[in-house]
Structure 1
């Protein structure tokens, strides 16, 4: 059941999409509200969490290690 819901709502991609829409709203209105700033921060946390999961899967597949602070820094830089 959870996989079906995830298929339709695309939880792994939705934080990036929502953050992009919020940034477009900020650009259009030329102001940052507490609500928009908080929502963008939550989207950043969720997308970083998803990337940590993918990094852990990559560590298992490729027998490599990834640094969590570097992943978070790359996510922050990509915003």
Structure 2
């Protein structure tokens, strides 16, 4: 078994230093926001197509669209690495 070279370790350490702590802490929220933005239209699209008949359906539609906008804002910087 070989050990990583010193330059590989130095590169990994320098990459870790370049990433600010705030970016590391926000990463799970970006991922969750991205995937929520992908999934939420499947939840509210049936309400849009059928038309919200009751006030509860209207409230649910507004809440789901609001959550979608929030998830788009939160997850727009997510990059699969």
What TM-score does the superposition give when structure 1 sets the normalisation length? 0.35
